[in-house]
Chains A and B, each alone.
Chain A
Amino acid sequence: MSDIINIFIKSAFIENLALSYFLGMCSFLAVSKSVKTALGLGIAVVFVQGITMPINWLIDHYLLGEAGIFGMDLTFLRFIIFISTIAALVQLVEMVVEKVSPSLYNSLGIFLPLITVNCAILGGSLFMISKEYNFAQSVSFGLGGGIGWALAIVAIAGIREKLTYSHVPPALRGLGMAFFLTGLMGMAFMGLMGIDPAAFK
């Protein structure tokens, strides 16, 4: 149990997917102009990350792995299978959300389809494989990673909103400043490395 909480804290804060691995930067920079849209994308990422990670784990172990139903090592198919799973699941999540909660669907809007090509999702799945997590750990890694990413994008969006009122050199306006801010936020998150994971045991 303790290692599950440990992985959650670690993936949400210390090894933040957005600020220490720079995954999902395309949408991170494009959508972080206002807090409201950033929150929408953040929630969508938590959603999809939390669902795809366990499912990709199951596929990797019971379909592609040596102990799987085909009885042979099919791991070279990992990329194709993972990305198809993610694309299919995003479509599925979109349909379910539309049916169950139209208000949530409207607020997520265009962000759901965008998530298919968000590197944080595929990257999370590949990290989960390379770190050799078990099923419970992969669930907590998925949720933690998603929440960490959402936290980062909302924080950046808040700063960028305030920044509209300050005097930035014209050549740095917009994109350049966003890069500087992301770097500074990354340094701030590095301070969390001081958290001792052993304290959660």
Chain B
Amino acid sequence: MILFMAKVFLEIASLQKLFFKLVNNMKIAISYPPIINKLGQKAMVSQNRNVQYFKKPTYLLPVTYAQAATWLSELGYEIYWDDGNADLKNLDEWFNDLVDFKPDVVVFESTTPVMKFYWDLTIRLRKALPDTVIIMTGYHSMRMPAETMNNSAVDVVLRSSHVDFALKKFIEYLDQHKSWRLTCPIEGLFIRIGKNDIRDTGSFKQVEPLNTSPIIDRDLVRWKNYAYENGNFLQTPGTYATSVIRDCMFGKCTFCRYNGPDLTFSMMDVEKSLDEYQNLIENYKVKEIFDDSGVWYRGKEARDFAKGIISRGLHKKGCYFGINTRFEYLDEETIKLMAKANFRFILLGYEAADQETLSRLNKGYQLQHVENCLKWMTKYGLHPHLTIMVGYYWQTKDMLDNTVKEVKRIMYSGLARTLQVTLCTPLDYTPYHKECIEKNVLLTEDYDDFDMSKLIVRTPEDHDYYYQAVKDMYSIAFSPRFILRQIIFLFKFRKRDWQFLFVYSLRALRRVRQHIFNLTSHQGE
């Protein structure tokens, strides 16, 4: 009887989808052009964070956009999931394919270092597709919508970080109203209604019920394109989960795009996320799942999630789980439970080893708590990954030296397993970006220079000193002390430690060399 009912339900669902398809015949492209710099590196605009250029293949699923695509597809719209990077296209191929598709709507995601590229691209695209509605989204344009309107052929700037909700509402309206430019009441839009005439529909709805946005349709976004080339996966195929938090439940760090008076956070229910994990493991045979929420669950939700994984038996399926979290967020009991549930990769924003910098960045944690948090994680077999930034406009030699020294100590003592160093670059008109403008420490206004490949703020020391610090920290991976520490971990007889040394390390070394090259190529200039 239950089987029969399930079949009937599925039939109704597919009939409903077919009905929507017949009614809604608009064609929508969600597009990521392959943006390649002079060095042949590709811009990873889709990485749910700041854009970076990579030479080695790295394909990152833009989670919220994938939810938007899924939702629109469920409503019957024809979706063209168009990631030029993941599809291994060059710019001309990508452009021609998009034009051939003749979309009614094209959606782009923007961020500071690729703004100029996008503005030019939309002008070129307008000539090829005069009737297509071009929508610009992303954290830069949402904070500077008029600038994008003035410099591009964009029709609509979406000011919301809830791209799935905003697009769903807007596309449905667009589909049903010919005079949408004049009448659309949906909040959070900048709409072009004439050459020099713009309509602003006001600030967007900040808190959306995440449970109503669908779980990503993996087939629609061709998930396998993203399943192998990602430096953070110890096992493949891996994938990004539909984020449980949007954007970040702390949301106060001044350098982060997930910060601003216009942003707060929304949360998805634990059970819904667990259902997705079960589907990914059982039906897609995924071996590593990473949730790229700004900060993942904590407290009761974190424990309920871990317990749910265990009660469903998903911790015994050979799949690792990874998250972003913050220092002082997870207690020992929760970490222990997460380890039991087969969590492995834990990304923590360390940023710097001096309290002044942490306070200026509004990091919201105190240094004396770092040690215990890392000890708990290591004790239960998790692999903490530290993110560090260098080149804050106030960062003195002492501050930087201390950070390098502390990072070395942490890595050599085995308290963290991997790290990532970036040059602190003001982006997307975050509070740190605005602060740099106000303090007059920005050395350039050319957005092309904001690609995180060089320091663009005035610093107390010569820039070379910071580039050297990047090298020093990445070089930890080649140090005999670090390698010895990894060998000692083998005696814990955990599979993940063996994989870490013999599979992941070899892959990681390639990427470390790439990072050193990317971040220090301007040394000596």
Q: Is the pairing of A and B real? A: no
